[in-house]
Amino acid sequence: MAAQAGSSPDVDQVAVFDCQSCGACCAYAADWPRFSTEDDAELERIPEALVAADLSGIRFENGRCAALRGEVGKATACGIYDARPHVCHACMPGDPECLTARAAHGLAMR
Ligand code: SF4
Ligand code: SF4
């Protein structure tokens, strides 16, 4: 989230990252992204081949979400962006989970 003019120094120091040159949070935890509040119509938009065997979320393989395209830290995209799970919508650049994932991949923290 971009800092606003006239905001406090602390807010001005909040990092702003470009998700399309990152992808770290999509390649961090084996149980991510899980399904949560999706309805049946939303789940049906996700290709079956990308769904985990236990139906808990998107399949995680080779250290990353199976829907992630590209190279983490360079250029990435979500292959099912319009149909991505609800938890993916909640991930915001600069939030604690973002910073944890970026740190795990050795990416810049600000
Ligand atoms: S880790 Fe942060 S910057 Fe990277 S893709 Fe996720 S939300 Fe975006
Ligand atoms: S579904 Fe898309 S946004 Fe969500 S973790 Fe996978 S690649 Fe990232």
Is 93 part of any domain?
A: yes
Phi and psi at residue 14, to the nearest 5°: -65, 130
pTM: 0.86
Domain with 20, as residue range(s), is: 16-104
CA torsion sign for 36, 40, 42, 45 is positive
Classify residue 34 by its DSSP letter: B
In a domain, 7, yes or no: no
Give yes or no for residue 22 CB within 6 A of ligand 1: yes
Q: Is there a domain that residue 11 lies in?
A: no
User: pLDDT tens, 70-93?
Assistant: 999 999 999 999 999 999 999 999
Cβ(101)–Cβ(25) below 8 Å: yes
**Ligand 1 atom closest to Cα of residue 22:** 4
For ligand 2, say whether the CB of 33 is within 6 Å of any of its atoms: yes
In a domain? residue 1: no
Residue 3 belongs to some domain of the structure: no
* pLDDT, tens digit, 9 for 90 and up, residues 11-54: 444 558 999 999 999 999 999 999 999 999 999 999 999 999 99
* Ligand 2 pocket member 26 (CB < 6 A): yes
Distance CA 6, CA 69 (A): 38
Interval between CA 100 and ligand 1 midpoint (Å):
10
Please indicate, yes or no, if residue 24 is contained in any of the structural domains.
Answer: yes
**How many domains would you assign to the chain?**
1
